[in-house]
Amino acid sequence: MQQVYFDNAATTPIRSEVVDVISEVMKTNYGNASSSHSFGRSAKVLLEKSRKTIAGYLNCSAGEIVFTSGGTEADNLILRSAVRDLKVTHIITSKIEHHAVLHTVEALKREYEIQVSYVNLDENGDVDYLHLETLLDVESKTLVSLMHINNEIGNILDIKQVSDLCLKYDALFHSDAVQSVGHYQLNLEEIKVDFLAASAHKFHGPKGIGFVYVRKDSGLHPLIFGGEQERGLRAGTESVHNIVGMEKALKLSCDNLETEQSYLRDLKAYFKEELLKGISDIKFNGQSGDLEQSTNTMLNLRLPSSKVDASMILFQLDLKGIACSRGSACQSGSSQKSHVLSEILNAEDLQKPALRFSFSVFNTKEEIDYVVDVLKTLSK
C-alpha cells in the first residue's frame, strides 16, 4: 500500500538537514544559554545567531524576534498583553481565524469585558476591507487580529492593505502568519504589522518552537513570568537546539523560495486539473481553487455526494495510506463541522464531505494520481 502524506498544513516533515543540525547542537552545545561559563556562552552565541538570521529573512531587527513554543503561545502572548497591559478595549478579528486567536479573544471578552467586532466576509471567506475600515473608525484603543493565510481554505489576506488601514486609524495590527512564514516573502520594513506569529513545524522545522515578531517599543509585556530570558518577554530556558533547527529550516525555505513556490504552484494546478477531470461536480471551498488568491500549499475540496460523511471518507483514505484532514488538526476528533466552512457555505453544501489536502515540496504528481484514483472510487 502506498503511503501519501497530504496534511502539511497540520505539520510538515522535518528536513534531514534540520535533524542533523539539531542533533549536533544537542551533542555539543548543551549549555544553558543564560549561564555565564563557556558552555553557556557558546549556547548563547548560537541563540543570538539564530535570532539575527531569522530577523534578516523578515527584514526586521534581531531585538524584535522573541522565541516561543509555537504559534498558539505567540497569539496568546500578543492578545493577552494587548488587553491587559496595552489597554486595548476593542479587538477586530474574523470568525474564520485559528482557534488560538478566537478562543483567546472570547476569553478576554469574558475576563475584561472588551468589545469584539467581527469583520464581514464574502462568500469565499475574503475580508471586506471597506467594512474593516468602518470598524476601525472608532475612538477606542483597537487591535486588529487577522491571519495572513487561512489554515483551512488557504485564502491570502492583503496584509499590506490591512497594515496601512491600521496605521491610518492608529490601531495595532497582529497577524497569525503560521501558514505563510517560510512559504512567502514577508518584508516587515514595508508591512507595518506590530506583532506576527510563526511556528517552525509548518516550514519543515521541529515542533514545539516558534517565534513572535514584536515591533520595537510596542510595550508588550510577558505572559510567562520567571527569568529574564528573551529580554524579559518570555521566561524559561531557551530550547537552543530547536531554535537552531528552526533557523536552519527557515534558511532552507527562504533560500529556495522561488524554486519551491514554482514547484508547489505546478503541483497544486495539476491536482486541481486531475480532480476536475476525474470527479464531476467537485467544488473547491473558499479561494483554495484559485491559484492566485490562495496559498500554493493547500486545496480544500467539496465532494458532490452528501451520502457519506467526511469523517468516514477520511477513515477510508487512511486505510489506503492517504493522510489529509477535514480542517485544523487542533479540531481533530471533534464532531463539530469546521467553523471556517460554517461561515461561508450554505446548509446544503455543509452536508457534503469537505477535505483539506495540503502539500509540500516532498510530494509528487505520482502521489496525486494515486489520491485522485482513490477519491474517484470513494465518490461514486
pLDDT digits (tens, 9 = 90+) for 112-142: 999 999 999 999 999 999 999 999 999 999 9
CA distances from 206 to 20, 46, 121 (A): 12, 17, 34
Q: What is the pTM of this model?
A: 0.95
The answer on 119 and 27 residing in a single domain is: yes
- Is the CB of residue 223 less than 8 Å from the CB of residue 80? yes
The CATH number for 53's domain is 3.40.640.10
Cell numbers standing for residue 193: 504589522
> Measured in Å, how far apart are the chain's first and last C-alpha atoms?
21
The average pLDDT across 248-268 equals: 98
The answer, yes or no, to whether residue 225 has pLDDT greater than 60, is yes
The answer on 370 and 310 residing in a single domain is: yes
* Torsion sign (Cα): 184, 189, 194, 198: positive
Task: Tell which of 239, 255, 271 closes a domain.
Answer: 255
The answer on 260 and 246 residing in a single domain is: no
What is the residue-wise DSSP string for 217-267? T-----SS-SS-TGGGTS-S---HHHHHHHHHHHHHHHHTHHHHHHHHHHH
Catalytic residue list contains 330: yes
- Is the CB of residue 209 less than 8 Å from the CB of residue 243? yes
Q: What pLDDT score was predicted for residue 331?
A: 52
Tens-digit pLDDT profile for residues 288-346? 999 999 999 999 999 987 667 778 899 999 999 999 998 665 555 455 689 999 999 99
The answer on 174 and 314 residing in a single domain is: no
The answer on 199 and 71 residing in a single domain is: yes
Task: Tell which of 255, 280, 296 closes a domain.
Answer: 255
Residue of 60, 166, 324, 330 with catalytic role: 330
CA angle 214, 215, 218 (to 5 degrees): 90
Tens-digit pLDDT profile for residues 56-95? 999 999 999 999 999 999 999 999 999 999 999 999 999 9
Tens-digit pLDDT profile for residues 295-307? 999 999 999 876 6
The answer on 208 and 284 residing in a single domain is: no
CA distances from 166 to 147, 222, 300 (A): 14, 24, 30
Q: How many domains does the chain have?
A: 2
Cell numbers standing for residue 264: 508547489
Q: How many CA atoms lie within 13 A of 39 on its CB side?
A: 8
Q: What pLDDT score was predicted for residue 193?
A: 97
Instruction: Give, to the nearest 10 degrees, the angle between helix 365-378 and helix 257-278.
Output: 30
The answer on 42 and 183 residing in a single domain is: yes
Tens-digit pLDDT profile for residues 18-42? 999 999 999 999 999 999 999 999 9
Kindly provide the b/e burial profile for residues 367-379, where b requires at least 16 CB atoms within 10 angstroms of the residue's own CB: bbebbbebbeebb
Q: What pLDDT score was predicted for residue 328?
A: 64
Helix and strand numbers (H, E) in the chain are: 12, 12
CA distances from 83 to 112, 224, 286 (A): 8, 15, 31
The answer on 270 and 208 residing in a single domain is: no
- Residue 67 region by backbone torsions, left for phi larger than 0, else alpha for psi between -120 and 50, else beta: beta
Tens-digit pLDDT profile for residues 142-184? 999 999 999 999 999 999 999 999 999 999 999 999 999 999 9
Residue 53 CA to residue 66 CA, distance in Å, equals: 13
Q: Please provide residue 181's backbone torsions phi and psi, each rounded to the nearest 5 degrees.
A: -60, 130
The answer on 186 and 53 residing in a single domain is: yes
The average pLDDT across 213-222 equals: 93
Q: What pLDDT score was predicted for residue 329?
A: 56
What 8-state DSSP symbol labels residue 303? -
Range of the domain at 284: 4-12+256-378
The answer on 250 and 260 residing in a single domain is: no
Tens-digit pLDDT profile for residues 357-368? 999 999 999 999
Task: Tell which of 212, 240, 255 closes a domain.
Answer: 255
Closest CA to 182 of 160, 210, 158, 154: 210
The CATH number for 361's domain is 3.90.1150.10
The answer on 362 and 298 residing in a single domain is: yes
The answer on 266 and 143 residing in a single domain is: no
Q: Please provide residue 95's backbone torsions phi and psi, each rounded to the nearest 5 degrees.
A: -85, 5
Element (H, E) at 297: none
Residue 360 CA to residue 277 CA, distance in Å, equals: 23
